[in-house]
Amino acid sequence: MSNEIKLVFTGSAGAGKTSAIAAISEIPVINTDVRATDLTTLQHKSKTTVAMDYGELTLDDGQKLRLYGTPGQQRFDYMWRILIKGALGLIILVDNSGTDPIGDLARYLDNFRGFINETSAVIGVTRMDISAEPNLQCYYDYLGERSIQLPVFPVDARSRESIVMLIQALIAMLEYGN
């Protein structure tokens, strides 16, 4: 495996992609957040990412992770295609307090289907403390219906420990296969 790994965080707006990268990056995060103007986004946060986030993390074994975050909204899907080029793994964050978390997951599985089939991905479910439903079994049931085998973890996007655990799971899958 190369000593540098590109990972991409994607997921619904407000799911915690920018926070997750900020929680683990060892360099000041480069972000492209601007003021949100639509009510849907403003319900969650005052700013939104319109191009990308970027951070870096060096693991204990010396591997350097280059961490990219995508914008969440579908209208920025051209950035999804740009950012996924050359990536080795994908982290999908889903906001469990959103109106349709399983639907959100479906959207990102569909948009990144080709990439997921070729490499690997993990799913992190955020804000389970605010909304316990759907529970993890609901996510596994949905993935099972689609014959997709990906791990699902409850995570706190602000917690370094939580996000590092998610990344370690993804790297283990990349190194040893799914």
For other proteins, the binding residues (CB under 8 A) are: 30-32, 34-38, 41, 48, 50-51, 71, 73, 75-76, 78-79
Q: Measuring CA to CA, which residue among 91, 93, 84 is closest to residue 57?
A: 91
Specify the residue, 30 or 174, whose C-beta has the smaller distance to other proteins.
30
Phi, psi (5° rounding) for residue 60? Answer: -60, -30
Which CB, 19 or 31, lies closer to other proteins?
Answer: 31
Q: Which is nearer to other proteins, 18 or 31 (CB)?
A: 31
Q: How far apart are CA 136 and CA 114, in angstroms?
A: 24
Beta strands 89-95; 30-35: pairing state: unpaired
Burial profile 20-40: b = 16 or more Cβ within 10 angstroms, e = fewer: bbbbbbeeebebbbeebeeee
Q: Residue 12 Cβ, how far from other proteins at the closest point, in Å? A: 15
Closest separation in Å from C-beta 126 to other proteins: 21
Q: Shortest approach of other proteins to residue 36 CB, angstroms?
A: 5
Q: Report the nearest approach of other proteins to the CB of residue 116 (Å).
A: 24
